[in-house]
Amino acid sequence: MESALTITGAFKRYSTNNVVLKGLNMNVPFGTIYGLLGPSGCGKTTLLNCIVGRVELDVGIIVTRAKVKADVGYMPQDVALYSVLSIEETFKYYGRLYGMTFSEIERRTEQLVKLLDLPSEDRILETLSGGQQRRVSFALALIHDPQLLILDEPTVGLDPVLRQSIWEHLLKLASNGKKTIIITTHYIEEARQAHIIGLMRGGVLLCEDAPTQLMLTHNCDNLEQVFLQLSHKQHNADGEEDQTEYKSIPYPEKPKHKSPPSLSGEGWFLWSRFMAQLIKNWYFMWRNKAMMIFLLGLPLVQCTLYNLAIGHDPEGLNIAVVAEELTNGLGECVNLPKTGCFLNLPLSCRYIDKIRGRAINLVEYNKLEDGRAAVGLNKAWGVLHFAHNYSIALAERINLTADASDLAVELSQLNVWMDMSNQYIGNMLREDLISGYADFLQDVFKDCGWPPHAANIPVRFEDPVYGSRNPSFIHFASPAVIVVFMFYLPLMFTVGVMLYEKMAGILERCMVAGVTALEVVVAHSVVQFVVLCIQGMLMMIIMYQVFDSPFVGNFFLTSVLLILQGLSGMCFGFLISVISDTMNTASFMGIGSFFPLCSMSGMLWPQEGMHTILKSIGWLLPTSLPTEAMRALTARGWGMDHKTVYKGFISSCVWILFFCVMTRFVIKIRKGLRAK
Ligand X SMILES: Nc1ncnc2c1ncn2[C@@H]1O[C@H](COP(=O)(O)OP(=O)(O)OP(=O)(O)O)[C@@H](O)[C@H]1O
Site residues, ligand X (CB under 6 A): 14, 18, 20, 38, 40-46, 77
Instruction: Pick the closer one to ligand X by CB: 202 or 573.
Output: 202
Instruction: Pick the closer one to ligand X by CB: 668 or 676.
Output: 676
CB of 77 to ligand X, least distance (A): 6
Q: Is 64 left (phi over 0), alpha (psi -120 to 50) or beta?
A: beta
Q: Which helix (H) or strand (E) holds 21?
A: strand 18-29
CB of 115 to ligand X, least distance (A): 25
CA angle 170, 171, 173 (to 5 degrees): 65
Q: Rounded to an integer, what distance in angstroms lies between the CA atom of residue 317 and that of residue 382?
A: 9
CB of 62 to ligand X, least distance (A): 16
Instruction: Pick the closer one to ligand X by CB: 80 or 118.
Output: 80
Cα–Cα separations (whole angstroms), residue 450 to 352, 403, 442, 455, 457: 22, 18, 9, 9, 15
Give the residue ranges of DSSP H helices in 310-455.
348-355, 368-376, 390-400, 406-411, 423-447
CA angle 572, 576, 578 (to 5 degrees): 115
CB of 297 to ligand X, least distance (A): 39
The answer to whether residues 654 and 568 touch, using CB atoms and an 8 Å cutoff, is: no
Give the residue ranges of DSSP H helices in 238-288.
271-287
Q: Rounded to an integer, what distance in angstroms lies between the CA atom of residue 551 and that of residue 318?
A: 36
CB of 206 to ligand X, least distance (A): 14
Instruction: Pick the closer one to ligand X by CB: 505 or 637.
Output: 505
CB of 42 to ligand X, least distance (A): 4
What is the 8-class DSSP label of residue 261? P
Residue 140 identity (one-letter amino acid): L
Helix (H, G, I), strand (E, B) or coil at 13: strand
Point out which residues pair with 7 in neighbouring strands. 26, 62
Instruction: Pick the closer one to ligand X by CB: 46 or 627.
Output: 46
Q: Rounded to an integer, what distance in angstroms lies between the CA atom of residue 425 and that of residue 420?
A: 8
Instruction: Pick the closer one to ligand X by CB: 20 or 97.
Output: 20
CB of 247 to ligand X, least distance (A): 19
Instruction: Pick the closer one to ligand X by CB: 41 or 297.
Output: 41
Q: Rounded to an integer, what distance in angstroms lies between the CA atom of residue 389 and that of residue 324?
A: 8
Instruction: Pick the closer one to ligand X by CB: 18 or 584.
Output: 18
Residue 497 identity (one-letter amino acid): V
Instruction: Pick the closer one to ligand X by CB: 43 or 514.
Output: 43
Q: Rounded to an integer, what distance in angstroms lies between the CA atom of residue 572 and that of residue 660?
A: 8
Point out which residues pair with 36 in neighbouring strands. 184, 198
Cα–Cα separations (whole angstroms), residue 521 to 167, 170, 248, 494, 563: 39, 36, 42, 10, 17
The answer to whether residues 495 and 574 touch, using CB atoms and an 8 Å cutoff, is: no
CB of 279 to ligand X, least distance (A): 31
CB of 181 to ligand X, least distance (A): 17
Cα–Cα separations (whole angstroms), residue 658 to 60, 322, 647, 664: 36, 63, 16, 10
CB of 44 to ligand X, least distance (A): 4
User: Which one, of 471, 372, 481, lies nearest residue 418 by Cα?
Assistant: 372
Residue 359 identity (one-letter amino acid): A
CB of 625 to ligand X, least distance (A): 41
Instruction: Pick the closer one to ligand X by CB: 24 or 326.
Output: 24
Instruction: Pick the closer one to ligand X by CB: 200 or 352.
Output: 200
CB of 182 to ligand X, least distance (A): 13
Q: Rounded to an integer, what distance in angstroms lies between the CA atom of residue 631 and that of residue 629?
A: 5
Instruction: Pick the closer one to ligand X by CB: 20 or 562.
Output: 20
Q: How many CA atoms lie within 13 A of 9 on its CB side?
A: 12
Q: Which helix (H) or strand (E) holds 165?
A: helix 160-175
Residue 89 identity (one-letter amino acid): E
CB of 249 to ligand X, least distance (A): 17
Instruction: Pick the closer one to ligand X by CB: 46 or 132.
Output: 46
Q: Rounded to an integer, what distance in angstroms lies between the CA atom of residue 418 and that of residue 432?
A: 13
